[in-house]
Structure 1
Amino acid sequence: MLTFDFLDARHGDCFLVRWGTPDGTPRRRVMLVDGGPPGVYEASLRDQLSQLTPDSDGTPRIDVVCLSHVDDDHAAGLLRLLAEMRRARRDELPEPFAVKRLWFNSVEELVDRRAPGLSASVQPLIENAMTNSGAVRASYGQGRAIRDEATALGLAGNPLFDGPLTEGAETTLDDLHVTVVAPDEVALEQLEKRWREAKKRKDPEVISASYTDGSVPNLSSIVLLIRHDGRTALLTGDARGDRILTGLRDSGLLTDSDPLHVDLLKLPHHGSERNVERDFFESVRADHYVVSADGIRHHHPHEDTLRWLVESRDEDDEYVIHLTNDIAFATDALTTLRRKRSFEVDVRPATDPALVIEVGDQS
């Protein structure tokens, strides 16, 4: 059985994936994906983690932490988690959590994968941009801080993958099979192009502009297809829909003859209409669609995205669209779209810390 706990990450992402038998024999495993924007760790994530099954020494255990990409609404909570663990170790106090693995791609790793040494040559421009650009400080600075915390905690190197998580990489964590769908070579090529342009022009504004429009972190967004006991989920981060479809095709998971069916699909980029088109939902169908958003800072999920999703399905198809927050414009749009259709809408009650979705045999 796969269980998902989608926390109220406001305009970001933060959720737990648990797999194994409910009675704990063997012990249920846990993956934490993203940590939400500032405040989410203190408001809900730390408490959720404290309730996890303890390790042999009584410390709540997290089998793997995965940061989809370095962006404030995904990374801030994970930086708080790692910093708290490091502070406890430094002060010779019991660590609050036992994190066994950390998976994340630094932008430098991805750039150097195609062009070794390029990131170091652009580093002076990055330092300049960090001084003058809040966007670069928030994203690149967080990425560097997470890398440093991971190194200090002995979590560097993407264990089990032994390098960046890029399209086609696979591993098995206990009995959870993990396939990396993105980033792919096209995304890495575009990242390299941005950095080469900055180096050629010797202009830190190139770096600042890249982080301001979100292109750099989103190009590097990790997409995972996870499988356990016949159940599947596609976890998309903030990746673009076309890059996700390319990765699925290149991995042989999607063909031209039939759409890919998964039990759960987390919508890319909080349901933004800029990351997907209608063909994305025609190519990937799910029993459970999840939107992590609050509709406040950004207009997510966009009504067009919801319409494309619903119109990609037959009228009598049964599925559920889950919202991590009650968003008036989204629920209004779904109410209209539900006419003569069989799908359901599930909204996390404001009093619940997480929206819990279970797929698979619960016996």
Structure 2
Amino acid sequence: MTSPTAQLSSAGVSIWLDDLSRERITSGNLAELITTRDVTGVTTNPTIFAGALSNGAAYADSVAELAAQGATTDQAIFSITTRDVQEACDVFRPVYDATDGVDGRVSIEVSPDLAHDTAGTVEQAKDLWKRVDRENALIKIPATRGGLPAITETIGAGISVNVTLIFSLERYGEVIDAYLAGLEKARDAGHDLSKLRSVASFFVSRVDTEVDGRLTKIGSDDATALKSRAGIANARLAYELFEKRFAEKRAADLLAAGANVQRPLWASTGVKDPALPDTLYVTELVAEGTVNTMPEKTLEATFDHAEVRGDTVTVNYEDAREVFAQLAAVGVDFADVTQVLEDEGVEKFDASWRDLQKTVTDALEAAR
């Protein structure tokens, strides 16, 4: 008998942990998760680093050293977080080598306050890439209006990118366009396309949280029956779009020149509603060539009792379309849902960034 996480891997799903801390690295826990839980990558964001640093005795020496050097708050944040990502990249290097660069990836995000600043995002993406100095890193850029051209420029500069905060199919199509345009720039600049990798992070549970709140207000039996179905349906249709777009000539020509597809990544896969199965956003989104990035609680639930039934995505396209037809029929404006979620996503990461800055500021002052 193989574990459910091993079964997921066999079904073509890469399991990435949605968490990182220095303690997790130095204790050997991260390496252990590779061996025992089939984890092949890590994603981070400002919320994760804020939590790690606020609880982090492991960072005391680094903070003291940075304080003695007279580092500013932001300088200290980038020093600490890029070191964590470097060390995590080193832990995952054997996975990176074994999978020919597909996995073994560690993501680090540009500052949330740059979410609508294209030039600032590109500049910081290049700086983070240089600082981390590991080819198995991914620079996270949000799929905002300002983020889209930054994705193209960053890919074009030969930097691998994790596109985050995707909620709508329309925006996802624009993300694919931005990626393909970046590959064309990279090709024209002489970069090795085979070295460039990207994932497109489609958020799942947050969609259900927002839609279910609206369905509750509508209150009809038809509306209630649709609860907890929108997030999965949305992600399934995203995978259908992925299949379609990467089979078209523009993408096919780039793939023939050595480029890689931009893999769909399921983010926000921790279940928010306790009435739902705790592995819902794992078992219902199994498809070849995807990534599922899980908080540790979801990872452990998956390892313990997930029922992996093979592909649960491509066989359910029609059902997904029917869900959206029914949502429209009961009065859910999904375009508004996704815009609200994008705005909230930027705001939440920005708030976490402010928390992170305050935590580090206080730590530097205490150390001085």
TM-score by length of 2: 0.32
Bigger fraction of residues in helix: 2
Instruction: Point out which structure has higher relative CO (alpha carbons under 8 A, 6+ apart).
Output: 2
Q: Which has the higher strand share?
A: 1
Q: TM-score, normalised by structure 1?
A: 0.32
